Each structure stands twice: as C-alpha cells, then as structure tokens.
Structure 1
Amino acid sequence: MQAISLFELQSFLRQVVALNFPDALWVRCEIAQLSQSRGHVYLELVEKAENENEPTAQASAVIWQSAQRRLQSKLGAANWKALLQVGAEVLLRVKVEHHERYGLKLMVDDIDPSYTLGKLEQRRRQLYEQLKQQGLLGKNGDLPLRPVLQRIAVISSETAAGFQDFLQHLGENVYGYTFKSSLFPAAMQGALVETEVLKQLLAIQRRIAGFDAVVLIRGGGAKLDLAGFDSLALCEAIAKFPLPILTGIGHDVDETLVDLVAHTALKTPTAVADYLLQHNLHFESQLLELSQFLRYQAAESFHAAELQLSTCIQSLQTIPQLILARQQDKLQRIAAELPLVARYQQREQVQKIEQLEQICQLLSIEGTLQRGFALVSKNGKPVASAQEIMADESLEIEFRDGVIQSKVK
C-alpha cells in the first residue's frame, strides 16, 4: 500500500485550492464566533439551513490588520462595528488559501453592507407582519399616561452619551421640575440587546409600583446598530408591558420594530426628555387654567353676592320707610273715614233700636190687646191652655178697654 506524508497531502491541497480559486470570491455566511488579537480579526463562519440552528457548513476566516484599517476607513467605524456582530448575516469577499500547517483559511478583503441590510430588512418585514397579525403594533400606546411623570425607569447603557444628555436635559429644565430616574443598564447594540433589555424589563416589573413610565434610550449610531431592536421577543415584551414605554433610540429616519410597539417613539434621548417636560407642563398649565377659572368664578360669585347684599341693604333702608308711609296713609284714610263710619254705624244702630222697640211694642201685652186679643187669667195668673180651666171656675178676661168676670160652663 502506497502512503504519502501529511505535508505532501496538505501541499497537494494547497495546489488544488490555488489552481481552482485563483481570484477572490463573494461568500454568503453568518458570523458564529468573533475574536480580535493584535489588530487582526478572527471569524468562525457558518451556513445554516432555513429554520434550523445546526450549521450545514463551517470555515475559519481572518481579517488582517491592514484589511481591517482599510475596511474601517471605507465603511465608517460605526458600520464596521455593527457589521462584525455574532449572528450577523454577511457577504464577504474572501481569498481562499490553504496552508500546509494551518489548513484552509479564508482571507477577508471586503464586506458588502447592503447584503446585511437587505437581510435585516427582509427579517424586519417578516417580524412586522407577525406583530401586526398578533395585534401588538401600538398596543402599549393604549395605556394611559399618568398626569405627572416623575419616577422614570431608564433602560440604557450607563456610558452612553444619550443617557447623559437625557439626565442633563431633565435636570436643567427651566420649569424647575424634579425627576427621579433609575438606571437599568443594558447593551444598546449587538447580540446582547434582546437578552439584557428583557432582563431589565423583568426587573422593572418587579418594582412597578415605584415608576410612572419606562424610557428606552441610546445615542446615535449606524443603521446596523439598530438591528437588536428588531426582536420579536423584545417587541412582545414591550407591547404587553404594564407601564407606558417611551423610546428614544437615536435615529432620525428609520423606525425599529420596538418603536412601533412602544407607547411613544421619539427620535433622540433629548426628545424623550422634552416629551416628559412638555407632558408635565401640560398638566401644570391645566392646573393654572383651573386655578384661574376658580379665581374668576370666586370673584364673580363674590361680586354677585356683593350686589345682592347691596340690594338687600338698600331694600332694608327703603322698605321700612315704604311700609311706614303705607301705614300712615292707611291710618289717615281710617282717620278720615272713621267719623263717617261711626255716623253710619250710629244711624244703623238707632234704626235697629227703633225696629226692636217697635217689635217689643207689638209683642207687649198692651200691643196685643190693642190688636184685638184678650188676656184670660184665673186667680191673677194667665191661662195658656183650655186644659187648665175647669167647669164653674171664674175667669177674668181683659180687653183693651176693660176687664170682665166670666164663669166657665
């Protein structure tokens, strides 16, 4: 059996690679691991089948220091850092080399950022449709804001310039409002954004009674830096969070999915601070308007009461005089009418007396006798009934012109 040495095999493979791949190639892959040493960047690249986590291909790659400087200058430091993230899908131009000792190695000399952005946008659209179907877009916005927002839970990087701008803008406000901001530090770019922000949301929820709202802020950066905020798990957590969440992720044009599910999306951390100030100013303005209204109403009520009191005073001053004048007029009328009434009453009473005297005269014995009646008496007593008279009794019968004696038969 013929055998060859390992060096001979590796030399043969090097020749095969050199003959078959003389020029650089563009390769689609995902960054699985990344490390840096002495200015060089070492990558582990993988390719995965759709909806599977296990790689179907894997290779090592390196970006030498000279290529790194050139690419950073070409892409910009922010884009360069955003592209080189674990889990990022990238399109690399590589020179395939094989070394007898170090084996197969891919030398990266260029990166196409548009490929990564395209992949991110495709993924973003898929997640957008999923969030839309679940009814999570704007869901957090249905929560009412408290009239005053002072106790703020802030999720940000402690060293982020945006966080310092946020604190400074709140602390130096011209209205004199005070705020209590509690920082919950988390990564604001890269693969750890989802994990750390979710962790801090849970921490805030455990202390939810101590906060009025949550603020998620970071400073400016490249578009690729925002990829961590296009996370399904993060969007679901924010949409369903029991407190309003305000975002200021530091971008002017693009919206992340987190912005679409948050209560209010603002451009920068400073804009978030302005929003809080204006919200509290609106409440204070309402209080001032209410205070002015109450003062106006009180003044109107006082003025009306004062007028009513003045009217009452005038009435008290004039009404007794009017009553007295009326009573005096009445007394004068009575005084004027009293003699007439007295004479009339006297005349009327005289007539009544005369009538009574006539009646009395008519009803007297003399009057009765004068009218033709007779008075029968027995033993000096008047007889009123025939039953009082017995036979053979003597009676006296008095007429107007005399008395006769009679005997009853």
Structure 2
Amino acid sequence: MTTYSLLDLNTFLRQAIALNFPDPVWISAEIAQATPARGHLFLELVQKAETGEDDIAAQVSAILWQRQYRQLRHSLGAALDEALCEGREVRLCVRIDFHERYGLKLFVLDADPAYTIGRLELQRRKTLHTLREEGLLERNRALPLPRTLQRIAIVSSEGAAGLQDFQEHLQQNPFGFAFSCRLFSTAVQGERLEIEFLEALQQIAQQASAFDCAVVLRGGGARLDLAGFDALPVCRAAAQLSIPLLIGIGHETDDTVLDHVAFASLKTPTAVADFLIQHNLFFENELLEMAGQVRQLAQTLVSQQHLQLTQWQEATQWAAQTHLRSAQQKIAYATTTLPWLQGHILRRAQEQLQRAEALCQAWHPEAALRRGFSLTFKDGKVVSSVQRVQPGDVVETRLADGTFRAHVTE
C-alpha cells in the first residue's frame, strides 16, 4: 500500500477541489457562530442531522472579508446583518478553497436574505401550529380586560424611538388621564432578544398584580428584525401571561407569532397609546352616562316623593279638618243635650230617692206599730222568741200610741 505524505494528501485534495469546484457555488446551512473581527465576519456553518435533535451532520468555517462585506451591505442593506445571525438558516454563494496547512475554507461572495426569510416563515408556521396544539394561541386574548388601563408594564429597548413616541402620546392625551408606566428593558432585535425578552416577561409575571396590562414596543425595521418575535419560547411565555398583552412593534405589513398570541396587535407604539386612551375614555363615558342616569333617577324619585308628600299633606289636612268638624259637631250636640240630660238625670235621681224614702218609711218600725204590731223589750232588748222570757220577768211592750209594763206569769 502506497504511503502519502500529509502535504501530498492535502495537495491532492486542493487540486481535486479546484478541479471539481472551479466556480462559486450556492450552499444552504445554519450559522452556528458569527464572529466579527476587524471588519471581517467569521462564520461557523453547520447542518444538523435529520433526527430532529441537535446533532451536527456537517460543519465548515467560512469568512466574509471586509471589502466583500461592505459591498453586500451596500446592495442588501440591513437585511444582510439580520440574515447573518447565529441560528439563522442562510443561503450563501461561496468560493471553496482548500489550503495544505489551514484546511478547508469557504469565502462568502453573496447572500440571499429571501431564503432566510422563507426558512423563517416555515419556522413561524411551525411555531403557530405548536402553540395552537398547546391551547396557547387564544389564551391571552381570552383574558378579561380591566375597566381602566393605567398601570402599564412596558417591554422595549430603553433607547427605542417608539418608546418615546408612546410615552409622549400618553402624557399629552387631551383628556387628562394619568398613566403609571414601568419599563422592562430588553433588546428588540438581534441575538440577545430571546434571552432578555424572556427575562422581562418573567419579571412581569412575578408581579402581574401590579399592572393592568403589558405592552411590547419597538420602532419598526426590516422583516428579519422581527424574527425574534417568532421564537417559540418567547411566544409561549407571552401567551401564558396572566394580564392582557398589547403589541406595537411598528410594522405595517407583516405580523409575527407574538402578534397572534397577544390580546391585541396594533401597528405602532402610538396606536397602542391610542388604544389605552380610547379604552379609558370609553369607561369615563360609561361613568358619565351612568351618573346622568343616576341624576335623572334621583330627580324622578325626588319628584315622586314630593308629589306623595303633597298628597299626604293634603290628606292629612282633610282628615284633620274632618275630625275637627266631627269633634265640633259632637261638642255642639253635647252642648245642646247636656241641659236636658242634666235635668233628666236629676229627675231620675229624685224619683229614685223618693222611692227609696217611701220604701224606708214603709219598712220603718213605727209604720208596723201603726198597723197593729207591737214590740216587746226585756232589759232594753227586743224579745224575738218566747224562750227568752221566764215567769216572773218584767217586760215592756211598745204600741203605736204608747208603752206598758207587764209581769210574766206563765
């Protein structure tokens, strides 16, 4: 068996690659690592195994030189930097180079951000399906919206222009509504978005009772700028918030998965501010309408009670006058009948007295004596029984015209 030196082997590999890949080729891969240095961009490209796990099936290093980097930025704009982020699936035009000492390298000549957007759209649809299967897609939207929205948890970058517009719009509302806002600062694009966004949502969830709602704000940007808001962990955490979540990430045409799981999705931070103001205005109008109804009801009740009091007053006056007339009639009747009644009573009393006197006279002992009766006394006491006298007793007998004494012989 022939033995090759390492240099001979690598020289053969370089020649084979140069022969088989004389021209640049387009490849698809995932960026595992992106490291800028001195204007260049060093990439670590991988292709993951189809097992569904994070196993790597292939890996290679790639370089985007400073000059080519500037040219691509000029032609592709901000979409280039958004595409060349860790975790992105990219389509790159590369020149394949193999060096005997430094090995295989890919030199990036061009990029296709549209491919990245397409891959992100597929991932976005997959995320939506997962959330729907987990029952999270409508969860936040089903929460009751408080009658007033004044205590606001803001998730945004501290220097975002959209944040300033939002705060100014709230402060300058023409109705004088007061709002209490607290910022949970986070990146709103780029590699740090997912980590910082999840931390902000976790902090809000821990003190949810202190807020009426949460809002996510940013000031617009390219479609790829919004890719972080399609991440499954971000959207799952947002959907599980126990307070309503409002989205205003400044994009007029495209929406994100975060828009779908939120209570309400509005186009701009200013639109979110308008939503809060109009919601509170609606509640104020309800209160004013209720106050008017209460005032009208109170006036109606007062009128009814006043009418009833008037009726009671008239009825009382009529009853008093009726009773007074009745009493006056009774007094007049009594005044008329009293002298007659007095005479009648006196006559009856006099007659009764005369009858009593006649009765007394009829039953007087003198009357009995005049009718032939007599009274016998012994020792000054009336003798009512023959057994009270004995032979030899002296008794006194009284008649109508006098008395006499007698001795009892038998």
TM over 0.5: yes
Q: Which moved more, 1:399-408 or 1:368-377?
A: 399-408
Deviation of 1:51 (Å): 4.6
TM-score where L is the length of structure 1: 0.78
TM-score where L is the length of structure 2: 0.78
What residue identity is the alignment partner of 1:368? A
| Counterparts of residues 116-155 of structure 1 (less than 5 Å) | 116-121=119-124, 123-125=126-128, 127-129=130-132, 131-132=134-135, 136-139=136-139, 147-155=147-155
Whether contact under 8 Å (2:62, 2:106) holds in the other structure is yes
Instruction: Work out the CA distance in 1 between the residues paired with 2:335 and 2:354.
Output: 29
Please name the residue that 2:82 is paired with: 82
Whether contact under 8 Å (1:62, 1:108) holds in the other structure is no
Whether contact under 8 Å (2:88, 2:116) holds in the other structure is no
SS at match of 1:43: strand
Q: Percent identity among equivalent residues?
A: 40
Query: Compared with structure 1, are the counterparts of its residues 242 and 119 closer, same or farther at alpha carbon in structure 2 (3 Å cutoff)?
Result: closer
Q: How many residues matched?
A: 403
Query: Compared with structure 1, are the counterparts of its residues 78 and 397 closer, same or farther at alpha carbon in structure 2 (3 Å cutoff)?
Result: farther
Whether contact under 8 Å (1:186, 1:200) holds in the other structure is yes
Q: Deviations over 1:267-291 (max 9, x none)?
A: 4322321232133224433443454
What residue identity is the alignment partner of 1:194? E
Whether contact under 8 Å (2:79, 2:224) holds in the other structure is yes
Instruction: Work out the CA distance in 2 between the residues paired with 1:382 and 1:368.
Output: 15
Instruction: Work out the CA distance in 2 between the residues paired with 1:110 and 1:196.
Output: 28
What residue identity is the alignment partner of 1:337? T
Please name the residue that 1:354 is paired with: 354
SS at match of 1:187: coil
| Counterparts of residues 315-354 of structure 1 (less than 5 Å) | 323-354=323-354
Please name the residue that 1:156 is paired with: 156
| Counterparts of residues 8-407 of structure 1 (less than 5 Å) | 12-21=12-21, 25-35=25-35, 42-49=42-49, 50-62=51-63, 77=77, 79-98=79-98, 103-111=104-112, 112-113=115-116, 115-121=118-124, 123-125=126-128, 127-129=130-132, 131-132=134-135, 136-139=136-139, 147-204=147-204, 211-241=211-241, 244-251=244-251, 256-296=256-296, 298-300=298-300, 302-303=302-303, 306-307=306-307, 323-369=323-369, 373-378=373-378, 381-398=381-398, 407=407
Instruction: Work out the CA distance in 2 between the residues paired with 1:15 and 1:254.
Output: 48
Q: Deviations over 1:213-250 (max 9, x none)?
A: 43222233444433322344434544555654433334
Instruction: Work out the CA distance in 1 between the residues paired with 2:21 and 2:360.
Output: 166
Query: Compared with structure 1, are the counterparts of its residues 236 and 117 closer, same or farther at alpha carbon in structure 2 (3 Å cutoff)?
Result: closer
Query: Compared with structure 1, are the counterparts of its residues 2 and 384 closer, same or farther at alpha carbon in structure 2 (3 Å cutoff)?
Result: closer
Whether contact under 8 Å (1:31, 1:87) holds in the other structure is yes
Q: Which moved more, 1:385-394 or 1:203-212?
A: 203-212
Q: Which runs of 5+ in 2 are unaligned?
A: none
Q: Deviations over 1:178-205 (max 9, x none)?
A: 3233333211123211111123345556
**Could you say what the CA RMSD is over the residues aligned between the two structures, in angstroms?**
4.1
